Amino acid sequence: MIKCKVCGEEINYEVKFCPQCGVAVKSKNDKQHLNKEENNSLSKFSKSKKNIQKEKNKKANHQENLVRTFSSTKLIYLILFLLVACGVIIYSSGIFDSQASITSTQFNDKNNPHAGVDLNNLEQINSYEETLKKNPGDKETLLHLAHLLNDSGLKAKAIERYNDYLKLDPKNSDVLVDMGVCYYETGKNNEAITAMEKALTYQPRHQIAHLNLGIVNSTAGNSVKAVEWWKKAVEIDPTSEIGKKAEELIKTH
Q: What pLDDT is recorded for position 77? A: 73
Q: Contact, 33 vs 13, CB < 8 A?
A: no
Which H, E and C letters describe 109-122, residue by residue?
Answer: CCCCCCCCCCCCCH
pLDDT tens sequence across 5-37: 667 676 666 666 667 666 666 554 444 444 555
User: Thinking of the domain 122-251, which architecture would CATH place it in?
Assistant: Alpha Horseshoe (1.25)
Ordered by start, the domain boundaries in the chain are: 2-93, 122-251
Distance CA 220, CA 232 (A): 19
Amino acid at 198: K
Residue 206 CA: distances (Å) to CA of 18, 34, 40, 173, 215 = 131, 120, 110, 8, 15
Helix (H, G, I), strand (E, B) or coil at 227: helix
Say how many C-beta atoms besides its own lie within 10 A of residue 17's C-beta.
13
**Average pLDDT in the chain:** 78
Q: Taking 60 as the threshold, does the pLDDT of residue 45 lie above it?
A: no
Q: Taking 70 as the threshold, does the pLDDT of residue 44 lie above it?
A: no
Distance CA 144, CA 165 (A): 10
Q: Contact, 86 vs 78, CB < 8 A?
A: no
Range of weakest confidence among 37-41, 111-115, 134-138: 111-115
